[in-house]
Amino acid sequence: MNSQPDNDHQQQSDNGCNHQIPNQNHKSEHGDRPGMQALPMPVPDPPIQYTKLFISNEWHESCSGRKIPVYNPATGELLCEVEEADAEDVEKAVRSARAAFQMGSPWRSMDASDRGHLLNRLADLVERDRLLLATLEALDSGKVFLMAYFVDLMATIKTLRYYGGWADKIHGKTIPVDGEYFTYTRHEPIGVCGQIIPVGKLIQKAAGDSNLKRVTLELGGKNPNIVFADCDLEYAVEQAHSGLFFNQGQCCLAGSRVFVEEPIYEEFVRRSVERARSKVLGNPLLPGVDQGPQIDQKQFNKIMELIESGKREGATLECGGSPWGQQGLFIQPTVFSNVTDDMRIAKEEIFGPVQQIMCFRSVHEVIQRANATHYGLAAGVFTNDIDKALTVSSALQAGMVWVNCYNAMSAQCPFGGFKMSGNGRELGEYALQEYTEVKAVTIKISQKNS
């Protein structure tokens, strides 16, 4: 579930910002007062037990013996070392998966509903260990603990249960053809699949150079978030803020290009700066903290370099723009105004807590500018005019468009982008197409009279 910094990356759906805190049966620090609910707390000093490679249902050391050090980005502390897999380890995993996929294997012979039951069982286990997993995620990536608990892990659980429900519902069709034949379709699994994070362009090139294997790519984004003057301003400011600063800005869906209509531009900037300055930075395991560190030094350096480019190229730095704290990889929440489309911060995926706010004057203008990018993952539109909402959402070149909301994700909804933001779709029924082949079977029927 770690976020990755590169433009060409595959990102699991760790997104979404609207969530409800479920009722807890234990007391909170506020006692038993009605309406007060206890928040979950991180596991103190969680054990890090599993650092080996999981292949063929067993834990293995890497063939090379090499290990990768894992650091806590909030403190710089070494958390553990994990086995570093290379080509030989991958081959072992592929051989194991192919064996499990063979006709007559226990998995292939299993009733489809039983496969669904196993996915639901996995969801139950994730839910059981939710506190531990959220704690480890916060330590490893710097993600705020409550976000990991309520957003990432809830999304993981819901996704497993959603596809557990699909396991026995993938149907073919009968097709009316010439009366001498009976034709039907089967949706068959494509076989062993691998998921690689990041290197998208390289993967597609390698697939073409080798055996033309099918590739589904979920890549980066430089997503426009368009705010019209007739919107609910306070709500739009908050949604634009969370749509960018979620997960320290390390999100492919981040609404990093905020286009604001001229009549409300200055007020929108003022409120956005006020909201950014209100953020609480610190140890992501502590209550009250809503921004943790960036995931690693490489990403920290990239973000700081792009912030400096914004200053050099003439954008107005409204707040932030510097490292924060005496240790760890923290960056102040940063807001730029007076950003023009030719600046690097307006064109490159920053993947950090850096909001760019641009001014526009007409619907036609903002559509043209919003689409003037190599990416096309997501977009937002804030307006109380339904005609404007439908016109703009239809014109935007993006795989997902949110109207009067942002990052509204669900396991049922397809996730993916246009242009250089990827190929294919994850989540929802559409994702099943990426993992199945359609086989047409035609049988000659005897025409003899009885």
Give residue 202's pLDDT. 85
Give residue 433's pLDDT. 93
CA angle 344, 334, 13 (to 5 degrees): 80
Binning pLDDT at 50, 70 and 90, where does residue 13 land? Answer: very low
pLDDT at 32 over 50: no
- What average pLDDT does this structure show over 307-336? 97
Cα 418 to Cα 398: distance, rounded to the nearest angstrom: 5
Cα 154 to Cα 143: distance, rounded to the nearest angstrom: 15
- What average pLDDT does this structure show over 45-72? 95
pLDDT at 19 over 80: no
Give residue 34's pLDDT. 42
Per the model's pLDDT, the better-predicted residue between 154 and 19 turns out to be 154
183 bridge partner residues: 175, 442
Ranking 23-27, 34-38, 64-68, 183-187 by mean pLDDT, the lowest is 23-27
Q: For residue 132, give every residue at least 6 positions away whose Cβ sits within 8 Å of its Cβ, in sequence order, or none.
A: 43, 46
Neighbours of 25 (CB within 10 A): 5
Phi-psi category of residue 351: left, alpha or beta, with phi > 0 → left and psi -120 to 50 → alpha: left
Binning pLDDT at 50, 70 and 90, where does residue 447 land? Answer: confident
How far, CA to CA in Å, does 314 sit from each of 311, 317, 341, 394, 425? Answer: 6, 9, 12, 33, 38
Task: Give the three-class secondary structure for 381.
Answer: strand
Give residue 7's pLDDT. 36
Catalytic residue flag (residue 81): no
**Cis geometry, peptide bond prior to residue 353 (ω within 30 degrees of 0):** no
Q: What domains are defined for the chain?
A: 40-169 (3.40.605.10), 170-216+424-450 (no CATH), 224-411 (3.40.309.10)
Q: What is the pLDDT of residues 380-402, one digit of tens each?
A: 999 999 999 999 999 999 999 99
Q: What is the pLDDT of residues 205-218, one digit of tens each?
A: 888 888 888 888 88
Structure tokens at 359: 């001014």
What is the number of residues in the chain?
450
Cα 113 to Cα 6: distance, rounded to the nearest angstrom: 38
DSSP code for 323: E
Residue 143 CA to chain centroid, in angstroms? Answer: 13
Binning pLDDT at 50, 70 and 90, where does residue 37 land? Answer: low
pLDDT at 35 over 70: no
- What average pLDDT does this structure show over 420-439? 93
CA angle 409, 289, 224 (to 5 degrees): 40
Give residue 450's pLDDT. 55
Q: What is the mean pLDDT of the chain?
A: 90
Give residue 245's pLDDT. 97
Cα 221 to Cα 245: distance, rounded to the nearest angstrom: 15
Give residue 217's pLDDT. 85
Question: Cβ(406)–Cβ(415) under 8 Å?
Answer: no
Q: Which of 29, 180, 188, 218 is catalytic?
A: 218
pLDDT at 25 over 60: no
Q: What is the pLDDT of residues 130-169, one digit of tens each?
A: 999 999 999 999 999 999 999 999 999 999 999 999 999 9
Structure tokens at 5: 């910094």
Give residue 209's pLDDT. 87
Per the model's pLDDT, the better-predicted residue between 53 and 450 turns out to be 53
Task: Give the three-class secondary structure for 24.
Answer: coil
pTM of the model: 0.86
CA angle 416, 259, 155 (to 5 degrees): 35
DSSP code for 149: I
- What average pLDDT does this structure show over 96-106? 92
Q: What is the pLDDT of residues 226-248, one digit of tens each?
A: 999 999 999 999 999 999 999 99
Q: What is the 3-state secondary structure (H, E, C) of 192-232?
A: CCCCCCCCHHHHHHHHHHCCCCCCCEECCCCCEEEECCCCC
Binning pLDDT at 50, 70 and 90, where does residue 3 land? Answer: very low
DSSP code for 197: S
The sign one gets for the Cα dihedral 35, 135, 240, 325 is positive
pLDDT at 444 over 50: yes
Backbone angles phi, psi at 309, to 5 degrees: -65, -40
Q: What is the pLDDT of residues 178-199, one digit of tens each?
A: 889 999 999 999 999 988 877 7
